[in-house]
């Protein structure tokens, strides 16, 4: 933008404007991250002391030899993959559905209904879901019983715990992705779709060759955002399963937090650093892939 070279009155004041933002970003962002990476190389017992003992890669070696951590890492990645795919898939389909000519009135209400859980305090939502899933008094199994279906294992079994928290998370998050897709769809050029129709494209071809390319901005934002969000999955676990049963939902965030709670700072921060690296690598990789896709 505008530049006034060598007019100090124009320059200095922007440092003043940015100062509070810079301080908060530094104190509650950059500094803690650096600190955390630093702590991951020190002995837990001395981490908070003035002169922590440097232990090199010991914490990293310890957690990499920890079967619980390795299982947790695997679980986190599997869960993230499932969650990203189902979030993007469901929100895309539902946004296209709401945007179609089939829904002529009441679109705003349906949008509101799906978005409401997004602004619901996540804790309250997950507390309710926990009871809905309950084996003895849960509403969900009551419904299944009423229609004669076998009971759902819910949070009580290793085999169903992950899918259960995924459903609760989808309930909480999908609305956000739906409105982003809808916002993108509202920007789409109707003329292009009509031209494709005149050219003889069927519904599928129209979707594949016209709508989907136009949705690229939303797809990109949504997938990167979902990736970052699900890799960090925490609250739902803390409320609903505490990592169980038998560590089947003990994702890295939660596991690291437990270690932190036990004062095992070095290992906890080593895990945080590894997760941070995974988030950055995957997010950047995803952006790179999509940018390349955009060019062709």
Partner 1 sequence: MASVELKQVFKSYDGKHNVIHGIDLEIQHGEFVVFVGPSGCGKSTLLRMVAGLESITGGEITIDGKRVNDVHPRHRDIAMVFQDYALYPHKTLYENMAFGLRLRKTPEDEIRKRVMEAAQLLRIDHMLERKPSALSGGQRQRVAIGRAIVRQPKVFLFDEPLSNLDAQLRNEMRGEIKKLHQRLGATIIYVTHDQVEAMTLADRIAVLSGGHKMQYGSPKAIYNTPAALFVAGFTGSPPMNLCDCEFADGQAIFGDTSVRLPDTLTRKLNGRSKVKFGIRPENISLTPQADSVAVTANVVITEPLGAETLVTFQVGNIELVARCPADFDTPPGAGHEIHLSRQHMHVFDAETGLALGRGDLTA
Partner 2 sequence: MKHALWLKVAAYGFAIVISLICLYPYYWMLVSSFRDTQSILSHPLKLWPESISLDVLKEIATVGGTPLWVYVMNSVFITTASTFVGTLVTALGAYALVRRAESPFFKALRMGFLVTIMYPYMLLVIPVYIVMYKLGLLGTYSGIILFLALGPIQFFLFEQFFRSAPKSVIEAAVIDGASEFQVLFGIVLPLAMPVVATSAIITFLLNWSQWLPVLVVSRSPDTYTLPVALMTISGELGVNFQGVMALSVLTTIPVTLFFLIAQKRVIAGMTAGAVKG
Structure tokens at 218: 């939303």
- Which ranges in the chain belong to alpha helices (H)? 8-25, 31-39, 58-64, 67-99, 107-119, 122-133, 139-146, 158-187, 190-198, 203-206, 212-214, 216-231, 235-240, 252-261, 265-295
Question: With the C-alpha atoms ordered 9, 10, 12, 13, is the resulting torsion angle positive or negative?
Answer: positive
In the chain, helix, strand, coil percent, each to 5? 75, 0, 25
Asked if residue 4 binds partner 1 (CB under 8 A), the reply is yes
Asked if residue 133 binds partner 2 (CB under 8 A), the reply is no
Asked if residue 164 binds partner 2 (CB under 8 A), the reply is no
Structure tokens at 185: 């769809």
Neighbour-count burial for 39-57, b at 16+ CB within 10 Å, e otherwise: bbbbbbebbeeeebeebee
Question: Under a CB-based contact definition with an 8 Å cutoff, are residues 148 and 141 in contact?
Answer: no
Nearer to partner 1, 1 or 147 (CB): 1
Residue of 73, 83, 132, 226 interacting with partner 2 (CB under 8 A)? 132
CB of residue 15 vs partner 1: minimum separation in angstroms? 17
Residue of 53, 160, 192, 235 interacting with partner 2 (CB under 8 A)? 235
Residues 9-28 that bind partner 1 (CB under 8 A): 9-10
CB of residue 107 vs partner 2: minimum separation in angstroms? 9
Residue of 7, 104, 136, 296 interacting with partner 1 (CB under 8 A)? 7
Site track for partner 1 across 62-101, x = CB under 8 A: ----------------------------------------
Using CB distances below 5 to 8 A depending on partner kind, what does residue 217 bind out of partner 2, partner 1, none?
partner 2
Total residues contacting partner 2 (rule CB under 8 A)? Answer: 99
Question: Under a CB-based contact definition with an 8 Å cutoff, are residues 215 and 89 in contact?
Answer: no
Using CB distances below 5 to 8 A depending on partner kind, what does residue 207 bind out of partner 1, partner 2, none?
none
Asked if residue 6 binds partner 1 (CB under 8 A), the reply is yes
């Amino acid at each position: 933008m505008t530049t006034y070279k060598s007019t100090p009155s124009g320059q200095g004041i922007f440092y003043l404007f940015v100062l509070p933002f810079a301080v908060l970003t530094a104190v509650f962002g950059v500094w803690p991250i650096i600190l955390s990476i630093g702590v991951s190389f020190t002995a837990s017992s001395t981490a908070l002391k003035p002169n922590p003992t440097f232990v090199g890669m010991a914490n990293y070696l310890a957690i990499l030899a920890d079967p619980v951590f390795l299982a947790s890492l695997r679980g986190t990645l599997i869960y993230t993959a499932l969650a990203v795919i189902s979030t993007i898939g469901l929100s895309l389909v539902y946004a296209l559905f709401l945007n179609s000519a089939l829904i002529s009135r009441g679109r705003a209400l349906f949008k509101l209904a799906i978005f409401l859980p997004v602004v619901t305090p996540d804790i309250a939502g997950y507390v309710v879901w926990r009871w809905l899933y309950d084996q003895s008094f849960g509403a969900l199994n009551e419904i299944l019983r009423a229609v004669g279906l076998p009971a759902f294992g819910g949070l009580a079994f290793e085999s169903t715990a992950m899918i259960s928290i995924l459903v609760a998370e989808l309930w909480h998050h999908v609305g956000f992705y739906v409105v982003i897709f809808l916002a993108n769809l509202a920007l789409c050029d109707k003329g292009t779709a009509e031209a494709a129709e005149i050219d003889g494209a069927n519904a599928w071809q129209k979707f594949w060759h016209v709508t989907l390319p136009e949705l690229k901005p939303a797809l990109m934002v949504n997938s990167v955002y979902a990736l970052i969000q699900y890799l960090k999955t925490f609250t739902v676990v803390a409320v609903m399963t505490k990592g169980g049963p038998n560590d089947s939902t003990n994702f890295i965030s939660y596991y690291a937090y437990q270690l932190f709670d036990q004062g095992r700072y070095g290992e906890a921060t080593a895990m945080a650093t590894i997760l941070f690296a995974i988030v950055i690598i995957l997010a950047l990789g995803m952006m790179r892939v999509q940018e390349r896709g955009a060019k062709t």
